[in-house]
Structure formats: C-alpha cells, structure tokens
Structure 1
Amino acid sequence: MMYALLLALVIQAAPDTLTLQAAYDAASANHPRLEEASQMTAVGARSAEAVRAGLKPRIAFSGQAVYHSDVAEINLPVPGASLPSVPHAQYRAGVGAEYVLLGRGTVARQAELLGLEASVSAEEAAVGLWQVRHQVEAAFFGVAKADAQLEALRLMEEEVQDRIDQLEASVARGLVTRSTLASLAAEHLRLGQQQALAEAARTGAIRSLSILTGQRFIADALVIDTESPDRPTGSRPEYTVFDAQRSLLDHRKEMTAEATRPRLNLFSEAAVGRPPGLNLFGDQIEPFFSAGVRLAWPALDWGAAARQREAIDLQEAVLESRKDEFTRALDLQTAGLETQLSALRAVIAEDEKIIALQESIAEDAARRLEAGTATAIDYLAEARAASQARLDQHLHRIQLAELQARIMTIRGEAE
C-alpha cells in the first residue's frame, strides 16, 4: 500500500514538459473550427453529387383526372349521322423519362462551382485555426515569464534569509542594529507577496493553455520549453483563401458562356389515358407512348454574359487589392518586430557582463553589511539590482523566443 502511494506521488510530480510546437498542435486539434473545415468540404462534395445527379435520366410519374363541362363537338346537318365527341371525363397516368444529350458540360461545371465554393469556406475556417497561435503564444510565454520571475524571487528570498540568519549573531554582539534586521525581515515578506502574485499570473496563464489545448496541466509539474517551434512549411492560410477565391471567380467567368449554349434533351413517356394521347375522340382507357427531342437555345442574351464577365473582372481586381493590402499589413507587423529582435540580441550579448558586475557589487555590500559599515537599505538595493540582472537575462531569452515565434506566425512561412 505504501509503495503504491509513493509511486502515485512520483508519477504526479513527474515533470510535464510542454513545447510551443506541441501547444500549437494541441490547440489546433482542440479548436472548434477544425471540424468546420472538414464539414464544409463534405458539404461541397454532397452538393456537387446532387448536381451531377442531373446528368442521369430523370424519371417521373404523373397522373391526372379531370371533368370538362363543355367539350368540342362536331354536328353534321345530316339526319341520323353522328360523329364521336371528346369525352367529358378524362384520365391520364404514366411515367416519363428525360435525358440530357447536349449541355452536360454545364451541369458538370455547376458541380465544380459548388466544390470551389465549399473549398473557400473550408479555407476560411483554417484562418481561424491559424489565429489561435497568437493566443497560444500569449499563454505559453506568460507561463515562461512567470517561471523566470518566480525563480528570481526565490533566489532573492533565500539570499535575504541567509543574511537574516547571519546577522542575528551580529545583532546579539551589538555589531548590527535590530532595525537592520527588521528591514531584511520586511523585504523577506515583500518577496513572499511578489511570489504570490507571480504564482497567480502563472496559474492564469496555465488555465488559458488548458482551455486552448483541451489538456489538463499540473501546475507544479509543468515545465515550459522555450525552444523555437518548427517553421511552418506553407504560407499563411489567408493566401490560400485568396487563391481559392480567385479560382472561384475564374470558374464563374467561364460559366457565363453557358447561358447562351444550346441544350438538347431526349424525352419519352409511356402512359394510359382516356382519351389516349392525342386521339381526342377516344372513349376508352388505352395505353399510348410518345418520344422526342427538345431543343432550347437562348442565342441572344442582350449582352448579359458580357456584363457578368466585366463584373467578375472588377471582383478579381478588388480581390488582388485586398491581397496586396494583407501582405502590406504583414510587412508592417514584422518590420517592427525584426527591429526589436536585433536590439534584443545585442542586449542579450551584454547580460552576462551586467550580471557579473552586479553580483560583485552585491557581494561587497553583503560583506560591508556584516561588518556594520553598510545599512540594510544599501545592501538590499544592490541585492535587488543583482537579482533583477539575473531576471532580465531570463526574460530577454524568453522575449527572444517569443519574438521569433510571433514573426514566424505572422509570416506563415520559413524565412
């Protein structure tokens, strides 16, 4: 029993390392619009199948029963002579079939159009999947920054506690005043408060990650790995949307020519009726059959197709303008970030030197504090500066990884 309990504690405390790429993948898999993209593709496929069904023979059953109070009659001025008349009660039931002989390409192109429309909708859903990367980055690096701050605060807290322990003996010997010790104790309490705030920020960021990824993270066991994510292999999904919209417009332009093309259908009907078929004077219910071809050719459309093509040309120009505007917006975003990236790399190169200098100054202040030649305020100022220098180094590295990730997300493709 004790072994099982210890094993459970070890498993629970095992570090759960999370990389940014893994967070991206999990958030995409958990995003509500993931299914929307596949659903829109399925909608397009089903709609296209429904249109293509028009290429198959259409079979329809029909029936009719009607009574005419007045029908055509032929009266001869010959005594005793009579001619058959059209029956007042008429019945008809049959089955007809119709098949497209000429114009099948129009139906096929209509099916392709529906597929392209669904493709645009699916790609628009993919844009939502891409945008979630920004939310993931904010939460992911929020945890990383909180971790760095907590580490710096813990080190500072340990340092202050060590000084308190060392100075208690000096206070007893009268080398250091109790007010100095009280100042250190107050600083120790302030550090505890700051840790509580940093823990709250970390917990909030972890909760955001859990919502985005659909995964439950153990706060005490979560380890953030800030290594650079995989570079995207394709372009921003918005460009795919632009391309899909352009293909859709091109297809619509091609379809404008369909409006003036001839259509030829084959039709037939087998039925029974009274009167049978065109035998208007038949008084018995008899079978009959008819078959033929039907031609429709809207040869003159008064320039409607040409105006439709002009309208589509304008839509394509607007689409190209929007694409250029989007590219310009991305360039503006990355320009500022790349400047920050260069500056941050230069800052990181100097961090080690600053840390070494600040730690040397803090150690000297600690020795002077123990000797009674420096006040607690002097020591704490230098200790905070050294702690801040170490924290700055961690934060600068995290910011570097964050900037690199943001630039890759904005560009959507490898440099």
Structure 2
Amino acid sequence: MNQLKLSLFLSSCFFSVSVLGQIQSNSIPLEEAYRWAEQHYPLIKDSDLIDKIEAINLNNIGKTGLPKISLNGQGQLQSENINIPIGDNAINAPLETFSAYVGIDYDLYDGGIKKAQKASEIASANVERKSLEVQLRSLKDRVNTIVFVIALSRKQKQILQTSKEDLEVNIQSLQAGFENGTVLESEVTKLMVRQLELTSEIIKTEGDIRTYVSLLEQLTGKTFPEDVQFELPYVVPTFQAEAINRPEELLFDNQKSLFAAQEASIAASTRPKISLFAQGGVGYPNPLDFSDISTATYALGGVKLKWDFLDWGKGKKERERIKLQQEQIEVDRELFLFDLDSDRLEYQEDMAALQVQIKNDEAIVSMQKDILTQSKVQLDNGVINSNDYVTQVNATLNAEQQLEFNKIQLQQTIINYLTLIGQL
C-alpha cells in the first residue's frame, strides 16, 4: 500500500468578535473553533491555578535557605540541684530555673536538598500542565464531530431543496397536461405528496442544523450567525506517514523528569549538612557559668554538622521503586504509540476505501441522473406513471446523498487523522 501524505495549508482569515461573544464573520477557521472551545471549557481554569501554586511553592522553597530565627523560653522547678562544697561553704544551685533566648540557624550547605526540591516542584507542575493539555485535546474531537454533522446536514438540505425544485417543474408540466385532459389528477397529486414530504425533510434538517450549531455555541461560548461556515484545512492525500505531535509524548517525558527529580532528592537527603547557629538571651542562673547563680545575659555560637549516613537501605529501596515507575512509564508510552499506530493504519485504510467509494458513487449518480432525465421524458409522454417517476427521484436522491455523505466522511476522516497525530 502506498503511504498517505497530508499537506496542510490554512488560509488566513480576519474576523471580529463583539464583547458578548457574537461572531460577526460567517467564515471561521476550524483551529479557531478549537481555541474557543479550550478557552471556554471550565477545566482551563486549572492552568492559572497550576502556575500560581508552582510560584508559591518555589517561593517557599527559596525561603528555606534564609536564616531561621526563633524565640525560645523555658522555666522549670526541680526537687534538687547541684550542691558544690567550697571549704566551709557551699554553692547551692537554685531549684527554680528559667531562660529566654533568641536562636538563629543558617544552613551553609544543605546537601543540595533545596535545589532538588525546586527541580521536583517544577517537574510536578509540568506534569500537571501536560495532563491538562491531554484532557483538553479531546475537545478537538468533539468540535470535529459537530462541525462535520453541520456540514453533512447542510449538504443534505441542499440536495433535498434541489429535488423539490425539480419536482416543482414536473408538477407544473403535469398540471398543464391535467388541464388539457391528457393526465390524470392522481398523477399530479402523487408528485405533490412527494414534494410535501421533501418539504418536511427540509424543515427537519433545518432544525437539526440549528441544534448542532447550538451545541457548538455551548461548547465554544460564542454565538454564530445562521450561515456560519467553517474553513477546513486544505489537504492532498499522497500516503506518507506524518510526524506525531501529541501532548501525551511530552507528558511521559515530564513524568520521567519528575521521578528523576525525586531520585535527586533522595540522594541529597543522605549528604552531610553544615549550618551555623547562635543564641543570645537571659537565664537564671547563668546558663554558661555554674558558679553564677544570679540572673545573667549570655550568648553563644558555633557550627553544626549533621550526616544521616545510615538509613538501613531505605534510600536504596526508594531508588528501586522510582526505577520501576520509570519503566512503567515507558510501558505506557509503548502502549500509547501501539494504539496510535493502529488508529493511524485504520484511518489510512478508511481514506483509501472512501476514495474508491466516491469514484463509484459518482458513476452511480451520473447514471441515476441519466435515468431520471429519461424518466421525465417518459412521464411527459405518458409511458410511465407518477409512482415510477417518484421511485426514480428517490433513487437519484439517495445516490446523491450517499455521494455527498462519503465526500464529507472522507474530509472528516482526514481531519480526524490530522487531529490524531497532533497536526491540528
């Protein structure tokens, strides 16, 4: 089988939108409808929330590197305390003690925890953004369905209207024959009945069109004019595979990046941490001089080292878990691409089959029109009756509808194919 190449050319279009969302132009690019649907969908509000939450979390992580200042106080009453004999005398430490001080701690080296936390937060926000894109992508399929149902209904109305007008000509011809006494009145009535049936079908089709347009207005939040038309991409099928540009691909990458950031956080938690500390306050008795049992101010400072070098294998197990989760993501990616390739092949086969069907339908319509032309002559000459003519009218009408249905179906299949691989 040859491959299908789809060359996409979007024509530029300028249009105006009123404050209330009333679309003034009657020609709308399909991609613009996609954009409106995404902007109107309630889920889009999550995008701003993700940005705001990420900014707040990053700001909080940044502040963990600033000095920590705390106010501390403690008082206690003891049953006994230190008694230091000195010659005939003794120093008796008081049974009640208290202290109040300001403490300052500043991390000189945190082992890279803050950097890992920022990377993890950014990766987590990116995962949420791509997840949102994946969910919003389904709106394109909904827009495609509604737009092509509208197009098909309008084409059906056009065909019905043409058939009704043709019947009107034949009714007038038979009416003249009836007035001249060469045609039975029932023959005229049969055509008039079919004309009324076509009118009913046109009215129903018009109602369907209004319903579908209303659904699209609800989906996009815009109000469209009755004769709105949607500009579809111009495509030339030549059977060549296209590159895939789906948000799921980046979602898988971002999920792996998140796990990598989590792994970096585990590694950082096992490194030594160095910090400065200082205290300054007042205590009774003097916290730094046991011989001074009066209330006294004091200050101290120094360097602290903390190293949790033994975690009993917890970090190793966490890294094993992360590695398994990354492998699981690759399995999900492989499954996604497998299903996508299957869908691509199905679309390509459908497009090839529809092209063959359309050629066949065109031949059928051409022959049915020739038969209808001959039937009209036969009806005028009394060779056939109105029932025979209406039967041929219906056959021609069905053939034309099938042709237009397959043409629109091919167009929709191409657009769905482009949407599937992320080219729209």
Q: Above 0.5 in TM-score?
A: yes
Q: In 1, are the aligned partners of 2:72 and 2:101 still within 8 Å (CA)?
A: yes
What are the superposed Cα offsets for residues 77-98 of structure 1, whole Å, 9 maximum, x if unpaired?
A: 97xx443333344332221111
Which residue is 1:141 aligned to?
A: 148
The CA distance in 1 between the partners of 2:201 and 2:313, in whole Å, is 75
Change (3 A) 1:158 1:109: same
Of 122, 130, 144, which residue of structure 2 is paired with 1:123? 130
Of 79, 83, 88, which residue of structure 2 is paired with 1:70? 79
Deviating more after overlay: 171-180 vs 321-330: 171-180
Which residue is 1:412 aligned to?
A: 422
Q: Aligned pair 1:18/2:32, yes or no?
A: no
SS in 1 for 2:64: helix
The CA distance in 2 between the partners of 1:174 and 1:111, in whole Å, is 95
The CA distance in 2 between the partners of 1:132 and 1:186, in whole Å, is 43
Give, as a single letter, the amino acid of the residue that structure 1 aligns with 2:50.
M
The CA distance in 1 between the partners of 2:148 and 2:192, in whole Å, is 32
Mapping of residues 181-220 of structure 1, within 5 Å: 181-218=188-225, 220=226
Q: In 2, are the aligned partners of 1:44 and 1:119 still within 8 Å (CA)?
A: no
The CA distance in 1 between the partners of 2:118 and 2:27, in whole Å, is 48
What are the superposed Cα offsets for residues 31-63 of structure 1, whole Å, 9 maximum, x if unpaired?
A: 222231342133223212212211111111223
SS in 2 for 1:84: strand
Give, as a single letter, the amino acid of the residue that structure 2 aligns with 1:155.
T
Change (3 A) 1:397 1:19: farther
Mapping of residues 172-251 of structure 1, within 5 Å: 172-218=179-225, 220-228=226-234, 235-251=245-261
Mapping of residues 392-407 of structure 1, within 5 Å: 392-407=402-417
- Please report how far the alpha carbon of residue 335 of structure 1 lies from its aligned counterpart in structure 2 after TM superposition: 1.5
Q: In 1, are the aligned partners of 2:124 and 2:258 still within 8 Å (CA)?
A: yes
The CA distance in 1 between the partners of 2:251 and 2:296, in whole Å, is 61
What are the superposed Cα offsets for residues 363-396 of structure 1, whole Å, 9 maximum, x if unpaired?
A: 1111211221111121112222333333333322
Query: Which one has the bigger helix percentage?
Result: 1
Q: Aligned pair 1:278/2:285, yes or no?
A: no
The CA distance in 2 between the partners of 1:338 and 1:18, in whole Å, is 27
Q: In 1, are the aligned partners of 2:72 and 2:100 still within 8 Å (CA)?
A: yes
Q: In 1, are the aligned partners of 2:103 and 2:277 still within 8 Å (CA)?
A: yes
Q: In 1, are the aligned partners of 2:187 and 2:385 still within 8 Å (CA)?
A: yes
- Please report how far the alpha carbon of residue 135 of structure 1 lies from its aligned counterpart in structure 2 after TM superposition: 0.6
What are the superposed Cα offsets for residues 228-255 of structure 1, whole Å, 9 maximum, x if unpaired?
A: 48xx997211111100001112222233
Q: In 2, are the aligned partners of 1:109 and 1:255 still within 8 Å (CA)?
A: yes
Of 357, 364, 369, which residue of structure 1 is paired with 2:367? 357
The CA distance in 1 between the partners of 2:27 and 2:423, in whole Å, is 26
Deviating more after overlay: 339-348 vs 26-35: 26-35
Structure 1 portions without partners, runs of 5+: 1-11
Which residue is 1:375 aligned to?
A: 385
Which residue is 2:319 aligned to?
A: 309
Q: CA RMSD in A?
A: 2.5
Give, as a single letter, the amino acid of the residue that structure 1 aligns with 2:325.
Q
SS in 1 for 2:36: helix
Q: Aligned pair 1:326/2:336, yes or no?
A: yes
Q: In 2, are the aligned partners of 1:14 and 1:221 still within 8 Å (CA)?
A: no
Which residue is 2:13 aligned to?
A: none
Which residue is 2:112 aligned to?
A: 105
Which residue is 2:42 aligned to?
A: 32
Give, as a single letter, the amino acid of the residue that structure 1 aligns with 2:61.
V
Give, as a single letter, the amino acid of the residue that structure 2 aligns with 1:30.
H
Deviating more after overlay: 220-229 vs 97-106: 220-229
The CA distance in 1 between the partners of 2:234 and 2:69, in whole Å, is 62
SS in 1 for 2:383: coil
Structure 2 portions without partners, runs of 5+: 1-21, 236-241
Q: In 2, are the aligned partners of 1:17 and 1:225 still within 8 Å (CA)?
A: yes
Change (3 A) 1:168 1:244: same
Q: In 1, are the aligned partners of 2:277 and 2:303 still within 8 Å (CA)?
A: yes
Change (3 A) 1:144 1:370: same
The CA distance in 1 between the partners of 2:274 and 2:340, in whole Å, is 52
Runs of 4+ in 1 over 4 A off after TM superposition: 12-15, 75-78
The CA distance in 1 between the partners of 2:230 and 2:245, in whole Å, is 27
What are the superposed Cα offsets for residues 161-200 of structure 1, whole Å, 9 maximum, x if unpaired?
A: 2221221111122222122112112111211221222223
Q: Aligned pair 1:91/2:98, yes or no?
A: yes
**TM-score scaled to structure 2, two decimals?**
0.87
**TM-score scaled to structure 1, two decimals?**
0.88
SS in 2 for 1:181: helix
Change (3 A) 1:62 1:233: farther
Which residue is 1:290 aligned to?
A: 300
Aligned residues, how many?
Answer: 398
Q: In 2, are the aligned partners of 1:106 and 1:258 still within 8 Å (CA)?
A: yes
Deviating more after overlay: 34-43 vs 287-296: 34-43
Q: Aligned pair 1:161/2:168, yes or no?
A: yes
Change (3 A) 1:63 1:296: same
Q: In 2, are the aligned partners of 1:48 and 1:112 still within 8 Å (CA)?
A: no
SS in 2 for 1:402: helix
